[in-house]
Amino acid sequence: MPTVNSRKYIMNFVKRFALLSFFMSLALQGFSVPAKLVKNDYGATQLAVNGAPMLLIAGELMNSSASTKESMQERWQNLEALNLNTVLMSVTWQQIEPKENVYDFSVVESHIKEARARNLKIVFLWFGSWKNGVSGYAPDWVLRDTKRFARIKNAKGENRPALSPFNKNLLDADKKAYCALLSKIKQLDENFGTVIMVQIQNEIGLLDDSRDRSEIAESEFKKDVPAPLLKNLSENFSDISKEIAEQWQNNGKPLKGSWQTVFGNTSKNLADEIFMAWHFAKFVEEIAQAGKKVYPIPVFVNAWIVWPNQAPGNYPSGGPNARMLDIWKAAAPSVDIFAVDNYADSYKSKCLEYMRRGNPLFVPEAVALWKGDKTSAPAKAFYTFAQNSAICFSPFAIDHSAYKDNLPLKNAYALIKNLSPIILKMQGSKDLVGFMQDSDKGGESFDFKDVIAHVNYGYQFKGYGLIARISQDEFLVAGTGINVSFESKIPNLKGMSYGLIKEGKLENGKWKTLKYLGGDEAFAGIGGVRIPATYLPEDAKECDISATIIKIIPVESTSAKNSLIF
Ligand code: DGJ
């Protein structure tokens, strides 16, 4: 007869065995938890996929590329070759629901299978009621029935080429189609986790006017600002945008009143834009909420940015742009991220505009090919992930010929992928910095408390990279077109010597040195790191992107200053 203790022991064993077999059977089925947002030790928000955080080293396809499997056939290989781990691709309402309640998910199904076979993740872009401020992707049966699906109107009462968000019929129809899509994704993918996020609508907002002038919109505009919005803005007053806070204050900071009374101004139609933002955001909130009940993967919306000196209507009024971030946050708590389509000339400051109120940086579109920029993607990738703790960086039109066999991007993505365990661990820490050369900059410096890192550019191409302090006396330097030296701030140890300089990469999470750098390739061992570490400076090529660990040895200062000579 077993004793009480031995019975307990046996029961525990059986329980453990059952639990283990349960998890093993899930593993055999390819079980995966849906992707979700998590925080690392430094508070950076990251996307965990199948339980582990990942950087979305991504690219967004041109708008029509994902419309058929045939069109995708020639593209998959190149996406893989570019070392992407994630592809952002559209799913259009007009294609998946050509007739009301008749769905066709064949293309979606094919994309998921193809991506999975290549170990690529997918972020689907839901081109529903709006794309880029108009309604070019709504199905025929929606566009034709202007009674059931009213349009936004201009001041003359004419229809605009955009559906009105003040319309419950549209919300119901869009939401139903979106949920059908998510239910299909769940059915095809919940055991695999290939589809990791969804973008709801695309660059939503109203073009060519600051607000909808239809009868229903006009009557809404005359009503009081909804109390929950003012409550939310009031509670977050010290964190909301200065422009909104000041305008509200200038109007006497009323807690009740019409949109015009509360937010009205004489320039840039702030009240109109806030009004549209609230209604667009509420519309999206309902869709996001309903979608999460079906399949709870994180969702985001993307913004057409506010360009300098533009007024709402020049850009989509009421979109989730930086000016409207606070309104969207109040109205759409089920939207996880407010992403920026960052084509700005001042890329860095545009990133910062979106890194407020806990919003993590996510760049689904970048690099303006149409302005002739065919080279900035690798630099922006390093900068965005390392300096701004971004979840995603994704050049737009990744399947354009500009990126075919594009060695700099391919190599940059390979290196970021290789270093991602370090980047993910350190995002948000002051010991990780990212940088890229602005046109006229000769260099910049980064403060690591007791040590300053000096980054110098000056190659025949623009430099960029990252520096991570991986231990007290070791720095990982990665990128290209850079010379990096270190200065000690430690009292009595203001001189700097260097130990081993190791070029290499991570292998199974551990550093593997592929070459020790010294002499001609490393400023004689007294001047820091050069990347690329070529014999002659003119041998340096833009696609030579690499990683080096350098050991610093602070010592009593000597009278001779290190000189960066070869
Ligand atoms: C921004 C849009 O979001 C994209 O879909 C695309 O149309 C680009 N503009 C144009 O290059």
% residues pLDDT > 90 (the chain):
90
What's the rounded mean pLDDT across residues 78-100?
A: 98
Residue 331 neighbours by CB under 8 Å, 6+ apart = 229, 277, 278, 281, 282, 285
Instruction: Give the three-state DSSP class for 439.
Output: coil
Q: What whole-number distance in Å separates Cα of residue 538 and Cα of residue 531? A: 12
Task: Give me the pLDDT at residue 31, please.
Answer: 61
How many Å is the maximal CA-CA distance in the chain? Answer: 92
Q: What whole-number distance in Å separates Cα of residue 123 and Cα of residue 302? A: 13
Q: What whole-number distance in Å separates Cα of residue 120 and Cα of residue 112? A: 9
Evaluate: CB of 396 within 6 angstroms of ligand 1. yes
Pocket test for ligand 1, best of 204, 343, 365 (most atoms within 8 A of CB): 365
Task: Give me the pLDDT at residue 479, please.
Answer: 98
The string of pLDDT tens digits covering residues 321-344 is 999 999 999 999 999 999 999 999
Is the full-model pTM beyond 0.75?
yes
Ligand 1 atom 7: the closest Cα is on which residue? 63
Evaluate: CB of 394 within 6 angstroms of ligand 1. no
Q: What whole-number distance in Å separates Cα of residue 522 and Cα of residue 516? A: 10
Task: Give me the pLDDT at residue 1, please.
Answer: 42
- Ligand 1 nearest atom to the CA of residue 202, by list position: 3
545 or 440: which carries more pLDDT confidence? 545
Burial class (CB in 10 A: 0-12, 13-18, 19+), 133: buried
Give yes or no for residue 63 having a pLDDT over 60.
Answer: yes
**Lowest mean pLDDT, pick from 28-37, 40-49, 190-199, 528-537:** 28-37
What's the rounded mean pLDDT across residues 398-425?
A: 98
What's the rounded mean pLDDT across residues 125-141?
A: 98
d(CA 520, ligand 1 centre) in Å: 46
d(CA 479, ligand 1 centre) in Å: 29
Pocket test for ligand 1, best of 127, 207, 341 (most atoms within 8 A of CB): 341
Q: Which two tokens stand for residue 436?
A: 């890229």
Q: Are 515 and 504 in contact (CB under 8 A)?
A: yes
Evaluate: CB of 202 within 6 angstroms of ligand 1. yes
CA angle 237, 238, 244 (to 5 degrees): 55
How many CB atoms sit inside 10 A of residue 52's CB?
Answer: 11
Evaluate: CB of 137 within 6 angstroms of ligand 1. no
Average pLDDT over the chain, rounded to whole? 93
Which residue in 360, 282, 398 sits closest to 351, CA to CA?
360
Evaluate: CB of 63 within 6 angstroms of ligand 1. yes
Evaluate: CB of 199 within 6 angstroms of ligand 1. no
Evaluate: CB of 341 within 6 angstroms of ligand 1. yes
Residue 97 neighbours by CB under 8 Å, 6+ apart = 103, 104, 139, 177, 180
CA angle 295, 301, 307 (to 5 degrees): 175
DSSP 8-state secondary structure symbol assigned to residue 491: T
Q: Are 408 and 459 in contact (CB under 8 A)?
A: no
d(CA 278, ligand 1 centre) in Å: 23
The string of pLDDT tens digits covering residues 227-286 is 999 999 999 999 999 999 999 999 999 999 999 999 998 778 999 999 999 999 999 999
Q: What whole-number distance in Å separates Cα of residue 158 and Cα of residue 341? A: 30
Q: What whole-number distance in Å separates Cα of residue 157 and Cα of residue 148? A: 17
Ligand 1 atom 4: the closest Cα is on which residue? 63
Q: What whole-number distance in Å separates Cα of residue 320 and Cα of residue 280? A: 9
pLDDT band at 515 (very low <50, low <70, confident <90, very high): very high
- Ligand 1 nearest atom to the CA of residue 370, by list position: 11
Ligand 1 atom 6: the closest Cα is on which residue? 63
d(CA 373, ligand 1 centre) in Å: 15
Pocket test for ligand 1, best of 307, 396, 398, 403 (most atoms within 8 A of CB): 396
Q: What whole-number distance in Å separates Cα of residue 35 and Cα of residue 53? A: 9
**Lowest mean pLDDT, pick from 23-32, 117-126, 353-362:** 23-32
3-state SS, 147-196, equals CCCCEEECCCCCEEEEECCCCHHHHHHHHHHHHHHHHHHHHHHCCCCCEE
Which helix (H) or strand (E) segment holds residue 501: the answer is strand 495-507
Burial class (CB in 10 A: 0-12, 13-18, 19+), 396: buried
pLDDT band at 4 (very low <50, low <70, confident <90, very high): very low
Evaluate: CB of 263 within 6 angstroms of ligand 1. no
d(CA 370, ligand 1 centre) in Å: 10
CA angle 122, 128, 132 (to 5 degrees): 90
Ligand 1 atom 2: the closest Cα is on which residue? 132
What's the rounded mean pLDDT across residues 487-504?
A: 96
Task: Give me the pLDDT at residue 561, please.
Answer: 52
Give yes or no for residue 556 having a pLDDT over 90.
Answer: yes
Task: Give me the pLDDT at residue 559, please.
Answer: 53
pLDDT band at 190 (very low <50, low <70, confident <90, very high): very high
Task: Give me the pLDDT at residue 24, please.
Answer: 43
The string of pLDDT tens digits covering residues 293-325 is 999 999 999 999 999 999 999 999 999 999 999
Evaluate: CB of 90 within 6 angstroms of ligand 1. no
Instruction: Give the three-state DSSP class for 122.
Output: strand
The string of pLDDT tens digits covering residues 10-37 is 455 445 544 444 444 444 445 678 999 9
DSSP 8-state secondary structure symbol assigned to residue 99: B
Q: Helices 106-117 and 69-81 meet at what angle, rounded to 10?
A: 20
Alpha-carbon 165 to chain mean position: 26
d(CA 102, ligand 1 centre) in Å: 28
